[in-house]
Structure formats: structure tokens, C-alpha cells
Amino acid sequence: MSMKKAKIYAVIGSLFLSLNVAYAADLVVWEDLGKAHGIEKAVAQFEKENNCKVILKDSDYVGHLTAYEKAVKEGSQIPDVVMLPADRVGSAAKDGLIAPLAFMKNEEQKYLQSSISAFTYQGNIYAVPRSMETMVVYYNQDLIKYPYEHFEDYYKLSKKLKAQGKYGIIGKWDFIYFAYGFLKGYDGYIFGKNADGSLNPKDLGVATDNTVKAATYLAQVCKDILPTSVLGNDGFGEIENLFNTGKAAAVITGPWELETFAKSGINYGVAPLPRMPNGKFMTPFLGFRGYAITAKSSNKALAEKFLKFINQTKYALERYQSILELPPIHEILKNPIINNDDFANAIAVQALNAEPTPSIPEMALVWDPMNVAIYDIVTGKASAENALNKAKIQIQSAIDGNSSVSQKAQNEVKEATASDLDESIATEDTAASDNEDSLAHSSEALESDANDGVSNEETVSHDQDENVDESFSVEVENAPTEATKSDDASSKAEASKTEDSANTENKEPEKTEEKKSLSLDSLDFG
């Protein structure tokens, strides 16, 4: 071989080697749908500092694990980093889909402890907390000057606006995630707890008397004020459209909608969820989203380095400013940019009265049966009792490891009388007077079985500040509270419950003069 050919071969070999190294260094990262732009700057800087290429894709994070499993089976390109909700951590870890993050043992003090707990399974941390979320009320300030403290006031407004061809308060209440605030507000629950505070998958609360009563009330609410166009999978877009175009006065949803609403031009405000007819606050799920490393990743070391990098304070704050999803990072929560933000404050206040979404493996078996049950309830296809009992049997069977539920059991819970269907069916053409009476009856029935007052363990007054650190405070305005009302005002409020709706539906709540002082950084939501 000539010296010239040897040099050519050497160059070619070196080129192939460099290409292989470059390819091996590529990192595939899956972000949430429409949110990839929130980390683009951080990704670019990471590539520069680490001489690598990051392939950034965005898709609905709910399907990341399923898509990852499919890619593994098909032999197609797999992600190194995926985003997942905390409730999937237990099942994903148990099934060997994600890798434990040993480095997080030295990083966990950086985050709210509740977020670390949410991503922990059998002593190992499986994800880096990215954002926290819970339901809040977005309200059109051109239609509602100040948010209401009681859901019944939203209901009355909804009746008034419906007569004008518009809607009052709406929500995706045919999905359990969105409906849970109603259920928990009446002491319904998914899993009970053991003496040590851990969740007990053998104690299923999805069909208790309280859960059934709450679901019955929800069905009546949906029947009376919810447009049928928001039901089903296409309902998410319809909810956005109704609120963005000023056709809905308020919507109960999560932080993922904030960016969309902000771009709409609507004059909106954000507030915690209201009280139910029994006096207790709606209690939604408190969820966390996190970045996890797939078990099949061939670049785990680089992936770990990437996760540390993008969750640095600088980049986490940039991400929040871009996609408006709140990071559970202490230093971020202390930042004036966050503390002076009304939305962040509303999330913080609501988080005090939210229940962490169960992250045990058994929770993965709950979603589908409960979604079917809630949908059937609010659309009138089944009574609350029958639908929830059916879901309970299915969930319990899955937890116990049974492949199917007996046909006899299924037939038993499917049976419903015509009167059951008539009482729970959701329609748009019921007379206004009939709707008002039916909701009142539902509320009275629920109130008669509810405990008087508000439980300190399950509800938090809008003016509570005893359990938070006052070292760093923020102001939450426009949150009317029971505690700040005078005795006379309280008496009037109580008396107003018995007034004819024609005299009360136009009543607007007074703005509280007292402001709530909270420390976002000191809040422990676990």
C-alpha cells in the first residue's frame, strides 16, 4: 500500500470513527406537546458545552411511556429522556421502564419534598421534578369582577348566562382527574391510608356512599349548566374555544392552559377553587410532572448530566416564563418573578387544599375504569351507584391480578332502572325551573349528610396563615373568606341561601380587604 493510500484510508477511518462517536452522543428527549420551546435555549447551551447533539421532540406526555414501549418492540429510535406524571412512576418503575436516578439523592434538597416523594418508589427517586399542577379557576373579569367563594354562586351565574346563549363555569368533568375535586370535596377518595400514612390499595373508596353522593351531584351540575360539546376527547379544545372567545365566564382547569389563555387576549384572573354546598372546598389532585431516563437508554450518563443542566435555576426560570408551568424548586419559588405572579399564587393557595395524586403502581389501574364511570354518570348512561360499583369491581379485580371480572358481577352492576337514567341523564333542553329545583334537591341531600363546618385536615381557609413560614410572603388578592366576614355578614350570607334565585343570582361577591400572606417556598404540599 502506498503512503498516499494509507493516509486516505486513515482519514476515512478517522471520519467514520468521529461520526460514530457523534451519533453515540446524541440524546433523544421527549417533551410535552407544545412545550419544547420552553427548554430550547437550555438544550442549545447544553449541546455547545458538551459537544453533542440533542434531538428534542414534543408529544403528549401522557403517552410517552406507551410510545417508548412501542419503539422498543419495533426497534425504532427510543428516547433517552421522557416526561411523565408522578402517578405513573410506581407502575413504570415496577415494570422496568425507567431507571433510578442515584444522583438525585444529592439533589433532592433543591426541590419541594412533596415532589421528591411523588417520584420515589421503594426508596429510589425515578424522576427530576419539572413542574407542579393543580386545578384552579380561570375567570373572565369582564363577566365576573371577582371570583366566587361558593360553587352555588357560579351555578346561579351559569343559569343566567345560559339564558343569554353563553355559559358560566365549565370544566372537563367527564374525566376523573378533573372531576376529583367534586368527589374529594364530599369526602370521596381513591385509596385509603394505612396507620403510617402510606396508601392502602386494598381500601378502595371509589364507590363509597360519599363518592356516590358527590358523583350524583356532579351529574346534576353537568345536566344543568355544562354544554355537551365539552364532553369526550374533543372537549378539551372546545373548552379552550369557549373561554378564549368569551362564551364561557369561567373554567376549572390546570396550568397547562395558562399559555393558551394568555395569548387569547381575554381579560382573565386566576383563583383557588370554591366551596361546595356542604361548606367544604373542592379538593383536586395535586400533581407533578418530571423528567425520567428510560431503562433502555444507551446514554444514561449524558442523560443524567442533561437533567441536572436544564433544571438549574436559570433555565428552570426561563422555562416557567416561556410555558408558565411552575417548577417545585425552592430557589424558583423565592424569586420575585414567581411571587408577584397571581397565577403562581393561586396554584400555591390551591395546593394547600389539594391531594397528591397517588403514585403507587395500583393507580395505573384506576384511570380507565373511573374515566368510563364518570363519563357514563355525567352523560346519563348509568346512575352514579351502578357506574362506580362497576368501576370498583374492575379495579379490584385488576389489583388482585384477575384477568377479567365475572360476567355475573358485570351484569349486576350494569342493571339500572329507567328512573335511574332519567334522574342522572345530562341534557340541554330541561326547563330552567326544573334544573334549579333538581340541583337544590341534590345540594340539600348532600348537605344533610355532610359534617358541619370545614375539616382542618381536608380544607384550608383562604385566610389561613398559621401553618406557613412568614419569612417570605406574597399577597393573594380577591379571595373572599369566611374568617374575614363579620357576624352580621355571615348571618346575611346564611340567609341568602334561602332566597329565591331571581333575587340572588345577580349578586356579586364583595372583594375582601384583607390579603393573604403565604410563603410559596415554605409550602409543603405532601
Q: Render pLDDT for 468-511 as a digit per residue (tens, 0 to 9).
A: 232 222 222 333 333 333 333 333 333 333 333 333 333 444 33
Report whether pLDDT(522) > 90. Answer: no
Average pLDDT over residues 109-134: 94
C-alpha cell at 83: 416526561
Report whether pLDDT(441) > 50. Answer: no
Of 18-22, 119-123, 179-183, 330-334, the one with minimum mean pLDDT is 18-22
Please spell the DSSP secondary structure of 344-403, one letter per residue: HHHHHHHHTT-EEPP-SGGGGGTHHHHHHHHHHHHTTSS-HHHHHHHHHHHHHHHHTT-S
pLDDT for the residue 233? 86
pLDDT band, residue 460 (cuts 50/70/90):
very low
Report whether pLDDT(422) > 70. Answer: no
Question: What one-letter code names the amino acid at 500?
Answer: D
pLDDT for the residue 223? 95
pLDDT for the residue 269? 95
Helix (H) or strand (E) holding 81: strand 81-85
Report whether pLDDT(404) > 60. Answer: no
pLDDT for the residue 520? 59
**Alpha-carbon span 430 to 169, nearest angstrom:** 18
Say whether both 111 and 19 belong to one domain: yes
Say whether both 342 and 370 belong to one domain: no
Average pLDDT over residues 128-153: 96
Q: Which residues pair with 517 in a beta bridge?
A: 475
Provide the mean pLDDT of the chain: 79
Domain final residue, candidates 327, 356, 385: 356
Average pLDDT over residues 228-240: 93
C-alpha cell at 364: 395505573
Question: Coil, strand, or helix at residue 137?
Answer: strand
Domain final residue, candidates 452, 467, 485: 452
Q: Which domain holds residue 305?
A: 3-132+287-356
Report whether pLDDT(268) > 70. Answer: yes
Report whether pLDDT(434) > 80. Answer: no
Say whether both 233 and 345 belong to one domain: no
pTM, whole model, 2 decimals? 0.71
pLDDT for the residue 401? 86
Would residue 152 count as lying in a domain?
Answer: yes
Domain final residue, candidates 387, 418, 452: 452
Q: Tell me the CATH number at 258.
A: 3.40.190.10
Say whether both 368 and 328 belong to one domain: no
Say whether both 425 and 295 belong to one domain: no
Higher-pLDDT residue of 118 and 490 is 118
The fraction of the chain above a pLDDT of 70, given in percent, is 71
Of 29-38, 104-113, 370-379, 450-459, the one with minimum mean pLDDT is 450-459
Q: How many domains does the chain have?
A: 2
Say whether both 153 and 168 belong to one domain: yes
pLDDT for the residue 412? 44
pLDDT for the residue 282? 96
